[in-house]
Amino acid sequence: MVPISYYLVLSAILFGLGVVAFIFKRNIITIFMSIELMLNAVNLTFVAFSRALGKLDGQVFVFFVIVVAAAEAAVGLAIILLIARNQQSLNIERVNLLKL
Amino acid sequence: MFAPIEDLYRLAPELVLCTFGILVMLAEPFVPRKRSGLVAFLALLGAGAALAATRLSWAHPGTAFYGLVRVDDFSIFLHFVVGAVAVLVILGSRDYLEREGLHRGEFYALVLFATAGMGVMVSAQELVTAFIGLEISSISSYILASFRRNVPKSNESAMKYFLLGSFATSFFLYGVALVYGATGTTLLSRMDSASGNPTLLRLGLGMIFIGLAFKVASAPFQLWTPDVYEGAPTPVTALLSSGPKAAAFALLLRIFDTVFAASQLWVWAIWVSAALTMFAGNLAALVQSNVKRMLAYSSIAHAGYILVAFAARNEIGTAAVLFYLVAYALMKLGAFTMVTHLGGEGERRLEINDYAGLGSQQPAAAAFLTLYLFSLLGLPVTAGFLGKFYIFNAALKSHLVWLAVLLAINTVISAYYYLRVIVVMYMREPQKEWAATPIPRAVGLVLVLTAAGTLYLGLFPNYLMEFATQSAVLPR
């Protein structure tokens, strides 16, 4: 059997990749995808722990996460669509009316 | 298997809010345009009914749904806060929506849903439940922030709020997963007794802290706040700066006070974050020319003040947090409602210089705004003064002398930008004539209620403070 640490390391790497992509990518859709990657890393962690602990609730949590991620995606894509329509661009550097 | 009826009583405010939210959406297509006030009235009724339902659930303290949520004085106190915020926001936003041609029922439905999410957050006893509450309120507010669909600034604000909000949520969730792995449970009450891997637990609690620090806009995770607050429609800004913040602080307090490991780990993080947040907010606010942006930075600074009371780690500190959340919600809602009204059609007048001559031309509006700014600054006879006093008191009781000193320094810094607005209003000649629009009745009501609340708490804090102290005793 594969030890749990493998799963944890893999999910930590996925989560880290998501964070790095979130910070360095310039396309809004890619940034959005990196958030999904982070959420799926969390799912993997939940499932791995659920298996290791011999409890089912971790797998139930994954369903909650999936549902919430779907709701978030619906709202997020709508917002991105508004940006694309009003700015004709999906580059985050060009969405800069509000000075940071 | 059905939940016992007591469980439903304990979730009554959320049930009422969701029911009315759905009713508002159903009613919207059937109500003719001319009578759109009916939808707003229905939503107002819903928020009022939620307050009544909170009173009902108060009579049934205890845990519900297998320990997922808990009704105690703490959650009741915050339910009253978020419910009152919803009432005031709905009252204050109708005339704005009419003016901007945005009047749609969804707005009110989303405010109600967001409030339901905050309600779940403040009574959650379990981390995944807390996450669901957090997301219900966050997703609703993402949509609310983008409500001025054709205004690029509003789009941008919504996008930043959405991306950074989801980013923070992922951190929170990863933390929950690690805590679950370390202890085998997500119930806060069982976390201490469970023997687990301490490193994993600490890592998880740290992640949860980062996620929540984003939500309350404390440094170094506060960068999104000014942009989001500036671009969002002003009534939504009023909501964002009061309700969700109170709920996130409540969740932070709940975890902090229930889980021993968290209080061990977080106390230094909170100390540093409090100091950084106060300076980050106040120093940046000094150079702002836009009123909304200035108020956004001021709300960051206020999050820092609240964190000082957090760091005190005693019941006086918790009571001070609760008192300050009420005082803060009142003055911020009042200030943003005034800014909404003064902004005029299309939110054109938002620069501080636009307020020149307001004192002579619209004395009532100027007087209200002055009161809120005095309270935000913390001058005596206002709620802000006593709120700060209680925080000071709690910090000194816990020997946090340095934090208390930093708090005092920051109050002095903040005097500059609050007083500048007042000076501009009363001392400067107007550059152009104000087409003085009369204050609509509903907006006037919000202003009177928040101003009266600010003064009342400044003069007679005892009743609320007693309630706060009683609520501060969290079950171990």
Tens of pLDDT, residue by residue over B103-132, are 888 999 999 999 999 999 999 999 999 999
pLDDT higher than threshold 60 for residue A100 = no
pLDDT higher than threshold 80 for residue B65 = yes
> Which residue on chain A is closest to B225 by alpha carbon?
A100
* Residue A55 within a domain: yes
C-alpha–C-alpha distance, residues B150 and B156, integer Å: 11
How many CB atoms within 10 Å of residue B353?
Answer: 12
Which chain A residues are Cβ-neighbours of B230 within 8 angstroms? 98
In chain A, how many domains are there? 1
C-alpha–C-alpha distance, residues B388 and B321, integer Å: 10
Joined together, the tokens standing for residue B405 give 């000193």
| Tens of pLDDT, residues A12-48 | 999 999 999 999 988 999 999 999 999 999 999 999 9
Q: What is the pTM of this model?
A: 0.94
Q: Are the beta carbons of B303 and B288 closer than 8 angstroms?
A: no
pLDDT higher than threshold 70 for residue B2 = no
Query: Given this model, what pLDDT does residue B4 score?
Result: 81
Which chain A residues are Cβ-neighbours of B159 within 8 angstroms? 28, 79-80, 83, 95
Nearest to B127 by CA among B176, B190, B183: B176
Nearest to B226 by CA among B328, B305, B300: B300
- Distance of alpha carbon B454 from the chain centroid: 16
How many CB atoms within 10 Å of residue B349?
Answer: 17
pLDDT higher than threshold 90 for residue B474 = no
Give the minimum alpha-carbon distance from B446 to chain A in angstroms, rounded to a whole number: 29
Query: Given this model, what pLDDT does residue B264 score?
Result: 77
Which chain B residues are Cβ-neighbours of A57 within 8 angstroms? 186
Q: Which of A41, A78, A98 sits opposite B230 (nearest CB)?
A: A98
pLDDT tier for residue B313 given thresholds of 50, 70 and 90: confident
| Tens of pLDDT, residues B360-375 | 888 899 999 999 999 9
Which chain A residues are Cβ-neighbours of B177 within 8 angstroms? 42, 45-46, 49, 61
Is B135's CB within 8 Å of A68's CB?
A: yes
C-alpha–C-alpha distance, residues A66 and A33, integer Å: 14
Joined together, the tokens standing for residue B292 give 């909304």
Nearest to B105 by CA among B23, B25, B46, B17: B25
* Residue A83 within a domain: yes
Q: Are the beta carbons of B302 and B328 closer than 8 angstroms?
A: yes
Torsion angles phi and psi, residue B307, rounded to 5 = -65, -30
* Residue A48 within a domain: yes
Nearest to B109 by CA among B154, B84, B80, B141: B141
Helix/strand/coil (H, E, C) string of chain B? CCCCHHHHHHCHHHHHHHHHHHHHHHHHHHCCHHHCHHHHHHHHHHHHHHHHHHHHHHCCCEEECCCCEEECHHHHHHHHHHHHHHHHHHHHHHHHHHHHCCCCHHHHHHHHHHHHHHHHHHHECEHHHHHHHHHHHHHHHHHHHCCCCCCHHHHHHHHHHHHHHHHHHHHHHHHHHHHHHHHCCCEHHHCCCCCCCHHHHHHHHHHHHHHHHHHCCCCCCCCHHHHHHHHCCHHHHHHHHHHHHHHHHHHHHHHHHHCHHHHHHHHHHHHHHHHHHHHHHHHHHHCCCEHHHHHHHHHHHHHHHHHHHHHCCCHHHHHHHHHHHHHHHHHHHHHHHHHHHHHCCCCCCCEHHHHCCHHHHCHHHHHHHHHHHHHHHCCCCCHHHHHHHHHHHHHHHCCCHHHHHHHHHHHHHHHHHHHHHHHHHHHCCCCCCCCCCCCCHHHHHHHHHHHHHHHHHHHCCHHHHHHHHHHHCCCC
* Residue A94 within a domain: no
Query: Given this model, what pLDDT does residue B375 score?
Result: 95
Report which of residues B162 and B192 the model is more confident about.
B162
Query: Given this model, what pLDDT does residue A7 score?
Result: 93
pLDDT higher than threshold 90 for residue B67 = no
CATH number for the domain harbouring residue A8? 1.10.287.3510
Instruction: Report, as an integer, the average pLDDT of A77-81.
Output: 93
Mean pLDDT value across chain B: 90
Range among B39-48, B248-257, B436-445 rated most confident = B39-48
pLDDT higher than threshold 80 for residue B261 = no
C-alpha–C-alpha distance, residues B383 and B376, integer Å: 9
> Which residue on chain B is closest to A50 by alpha carbon?
B181
C-alpha–C-alpha distance, residues A11 and A61, integer Å: 16
Instruction: Report, as an integer, the average pLDDT of B274-287.
Output: 93
Nearest to B307 by CA among B260, B283, B272: B272
Query: Given this model, what pLDDT does residue A86 score?
Result: 87
pLDDT higher than threshold 90 for residue A71 = yes
Q: Are the beta carbons of B366 and B358 closer than 8 angstroms?
A: yes
pLDDT tier for residue B198 given thresholds of 50, 70 and 90: confident
Range of the domain at A13: 4-87
Query: Given this model, what pLDDT does residue B213 score?
Result: 93
- In three-state secondary structure terms, A73 is helix
pLDDT higher than threshold 60 for residue B475 = no
C-alpha–C-alpha distance, residues B181 and B173, integer Å: 12
pLDDT tier for residue B1 given thresholds of 50, 70 and 90: low
pLDDT higher than threshold 60 for residue B247 = yes
Query: Given this model, what pLDDT does residue A98 score?
Result: 66
pLDDT tier for residue A92 given thresholds of 50, 70 and 90: confident
Please name the residues in contact with B301: beta carbons below 8 A apart, sequence gap of 6 or more. Answer: B277, B278, B280, B281, B282, B285, B410, B414
Please name the residues in contact with B109: beta carbons below 8 A apart, sequence gap of 6 or more. Answer: B21, B22, B24, B25, B28, B43
Query: Which residues, in sequence order, are bridge partners of residue B64?
Result: B69
Which chain A residues are Cβ-neighbours of B195 within 8 angstroms? none
Query: Given this model, what pLDDT does residue B383 score?
Result: 93
Q: Are the beta carbons of B172 and B208 closer than 8 angstroms?
A: yes
Q: Label residue B314 left, alpha or beta by phi (over 0 means left) and psi (-120 to 50 means alpha).
A: beta
Query: Given this model, what pLDDT does residue B320 score?
Result: 94
> Which residue on chain B is closest to A51 by alpha carbon?
B181
C-alpha–C-alpha distance, residues B48 and A46, integer Å: 39
C-alpha–C-alpha distance, residues B317 and B306, integer Å: 9
Query: Given this model, what pLDDT does residue A99 score?
Result: 61
pLDDT higher than threshold 90 for residue B312 = no
Joined together, the tokens standing for residue A53 give 């602990």
Could you tell me what percent of chain B has a pLDDT over 90? 67
Q: Does an H or E element contain A45, and which?
A: helix A28-53
Instruction: Report, as an integer, the average pLDDT of A46-59.
Output: 92
pLDDT higher than threshold 70 for residue B468 = yes
Query: Given this model, what pLDDT does residue B104 score?
Result: 84
> Which residue on chain A is closest to B230 by alpha carbon?
A98
Nearest to B299 by CA among B338, B245, B353: B245
Q: Which of A48, A80, A98 sits opposite B153 (nearest CB)?
A: A98
C-alpha–C-alpha distance, residues A44 and B163, integer Å: 22
Torsion angles phi and psi, residue B146, rounded to 5 = -95, 20
Is A80 near chain B, with CB under 8 Å?
Answer: yes
